[in-house]
Amino acid sequence: MSYDNSIKERILGVSPAILEAHGAVSSECAQAMAEGTQRLFETELAIAITGIAGPDGGSADKPVGTVHFAFRNGEHGFARHLLLFGDRESIRHKAAEAAILLLFNDLREEKE
């Protein structure tokens, strides 16, 4: 997990410019995190999730429950955004489930 922006930068290679322009909770950041994860672990498949699980940290633009997902499968990548509801634990659990379902659906669509 890379909750801290400095870890996103140092370990995953997220550009400080992305964090400054879009924030840590953004599609752009999630995509950079997925690319960094793929590179770091030398894997074909990578998933990144960044969001605001609460109870604090939300804003009018990014309320608690805002979650951005990014996926990499080889050179193919895509991102999604959801607004989830519940307490911190529930939002984190729902985000993990959603990531698996989003990836499964994308892989299934590729085969069709």
| Contact criterion met (CB below 8 Å) for 18 and 37 | no
| Res 1: pLDDT | 63
Beta bridge partners, 79, equal: 70
pLDDT tens, 63-96? 999 999 999 999 999 999 999 999 999 999 999 9
| Res 112: pLDDT | 76
| Contact criterion met (CB below 8 Å) for 77 and 34 | yes
Buried b (16+ CB within 10 A) or exposed e, 44-70: eebbbbbbbbbeeeeeeebebbbbbbb
Q: Which amino acid is residue 69, in one-letter code?
A: F
| Res 2: pLDDT | 66
Instruction: Please state whether the predicted TM-score (pTM) of the whole model is above 0.85.
Output: yes
Q: Which CATH superfamily is domain 5-111 in?
A: CinA-like (3.90.950.20)
